[in-house]
Chain A
Amino acid sequence: MSSMEELQREVERLQLENARLKEQLEKAELNEQLAGSRESTDPKPQNNATDKYPLTLEEYHRYGRQMIVEETGGVEGQVKLKNAKVLVIGAGGLGCPLLPYLAGAGVGTIGIVDNDTVDPSNLHRQILHDSYSVGMLKCDSAKRALNRLNPNVNVTTYPVRLDNTNAFQIFEGYNLIMDCTDTPVTRYLINDVAVNLGLTVVSASGVRTEGQLTILNFENMGPCYRCFYPVPPSPNSVSSCQEGGVIGPCIGVLGVMMAVEAMKVILGLYSTDDFEPFLMQYAGFPKQSLRTFRMRRRKEMCAACGTNPTITREAIETSKINYTEFCGSRNYNVCVPEERITVQQFDNEYLKVTSPGCILLDVRPEHHYQISHLPNTYNITVKSLRNMDGSLDELQKHIPSVSKDSDIVVLCRFGNDSQLATRLLKDDFGINNVKDVQGGFFKYIDDIDPSIPKY
């Protein structure tokens, strides 16, 4: 037998061994969980210790370090945490640091809503997931981590995208909502559903190096998200982590701060008499800073929580409130089909052959371009093009050979900005022959040359 065959057999043997051990481990984990939940839900005490005490001995041991902090209210506080039912929407940059602190602190029931799967680009900040959970549902990956951390906690997962038809069903049964989502549409929806159900929302957000944190609709006395933001921001001003980038620990700080607020709400450290609406603003760069701003109270005219609300459960569930329309969306589709080429055409007609006089223009931000780019390309952002006000002289400062008769092919990261740039070059600069590459640089990498780094 050759050594290669031997090695192959050995690999197979180890794979089987691996599968067998995994199965054993899963069974053991399940047993432990069941034992844990029996202890935590069985009304009849199982031993002398629980006769006298409201928590199991294991729980005293596990939560001892926080119970002896006076502010938690000791055992009484711990029981409040155990009885709490917290719904976390989003198991990403905020949810990942938040969830283990909730589970570790002994929050008895945790729901996780997320329909997304783990991608390698999440891992620098979404620290509940790891390289081995890539491709898994985030809510399942998070649940696995939480079960290992604290088997006393009941974790329910909702692998769905929260929308106006399922939100009420999911929210009901929970006492506290954690908004860890990433778009205005979902933030308005969470707010409106929570207001209708009288639920408090701890809400945080962040992008790049900064973050914000607030408590909305506290004990149904407001203010709510709509009191702060009655009019949604223009879609052009909304930046996501994918687009704007984000520093892992900067968004992480916000997730951890959410856990602190959740504990305080559950422990009853805020009351309707002394609750002061606030917004905290964290900046990681250049110097770390944390500010607490005093915010407005409930607005009487608020459409969700004011005296005459129009945003009712019925209006939400029957889609009378159209969240997508309300928040709007950017219109990138500004080019006609003849103005667009596929990455295959781009490769065949412009890259593989030398086309003299043809200008390849990459309109991504310079720090994106520096990560990776195609050879013989110019780099000018859409914003810079716009600032040239259609002046060919200005454009020639960057691309000396450019004229109204030039052949220009524009590309960006995903094929959105390149359309805007194509419009500018044709309409403002009067250059006739401009083409946009559909799907952009990343589509080119995916379909034509996967050896180029993608970020």
Chain B
Amino acid sequence: MVKVKVEFLGGLDVVFDKQRTYDLDIPSEGEFTVKDLLDYLVTNMIKNPKDVEMFIEDGTVRPGIITLINDADWELEGELEYVIEDGDIVSFTSTLHGG
């Protein structure tokens, strides 16, 4: 079991039932990576299969979405391979363009 908080910012909450944050207890054995988290989100939390493409492209987070692990760019943390620990916060934010 891994305890992780996920956040959907910049309008991404529309893909996740219009809820911005979720506290998740995810059953897992062994290491649970960000890649595993993405699979979990797609399988369990995106109700409308047509919305998956608004979040995932080519097996990773789609261009235009920034992923953050504990408020740091996931690129600094190992991206998909990062092993999630209890209490981590993983945030996804859509890039905004208006002005």
Contact = CB atoms under 8 A, between A and B. Distances in A.
A206 to B, nearest CB: 5
Contacts, number: 101
Nearest to A299: B75
B72 interface: yes
Given A283-B9, A296-B76, A237 B62 contact: yes
Contacts of A212: 10, 93, 95-96
Nearest to A208: B11
Interface string A294-338: 111000000000000000000000000000000000000000000
A78 B40 CA distance: 54
Interface in B34-68: 48, 50, 54, 57, 62-64, 66, 68
Contacts of B57: 234
Secondary structure at the A interface, as helix, strand, loop or mixed, is: mixed
B94 A281 contact: no
A182 B99 contact: yes
A294 B63 contact: no
Contact of B98 (A246, A279, A293, A387): A246
Contacts of B50: 386-387
A246 B71 CA distance: 25
Interface residues of A, number: 46
A187 interface: yes
A281 B11 contact: no
A244 B98 contact: yes
A417 interface: no
Contacts of A94: 99
A244 B11 CA distance: 10
Contacts of A294: 71-73, 76
A31 interface: no
B9 A206 contact: no
A295 B73 contact: yes
Interface in B76-99: 76, 91, 93-99
Interface string A211-250: 1100000000000000011111110011111001010000
Interface of A: 90, 92-95, 179-184, 187, 204-208, 210-212, 228-234, 237-241, 244, 246, 251, 279, 281, 283, 291-296, 386-387
Given A93-B99, A293-B72, 4 more contacts: A94-B99, A210-B9, A241-B99, A295-B72
